[in-house]
Amino acid sequence: MKLPMIAPPDVAEFLSDLMICETPLERIYEVTGPRAYSSSDITKVFEDVLNRNVTLQQVLPEEWESTLVQAGFSKDGAKKILYL
């Protein structure tokens, strides 16, 4: 499965332009990046940037919080990430 991705600064730029628009447009916007990526695509990017092999590993939803804590997030920070 491929999902569209967009950089947070691009979202911020889009929203700031929209907020200062002189003619407000009441509509729904779908903001996406230039292409969709699979998990394998992201793994390849990490391998290229890190110049080493990277293994893709599935983390089940019930393991997300503990995995984030093991990665260095506070328990409260991990919970907030899960709400996104």
3-state secondary structure string, the chain?
A: CCEECCCHHHHHHHHHHHHCCCCCCCCCCCCCCCCEECHHHHHHHHHHHHCCCCCCCCCCHHHHHHHHHHCCCCHHHHHHHHCC
φ and ψ at residue 45, rounded to 5 degrees: -60, -45
Q: How high is the pLDDT of residue 41?
A: 95
* Residue 26 predicted with pLDDT over 90: no
Q: How high is the pLDDT of residue 9?
A: 94
pTM of structure: 0.61
Percent with pLDDT over 90 in the chain = 67
pLDDT in tens, 72-83: 999 999 999 998
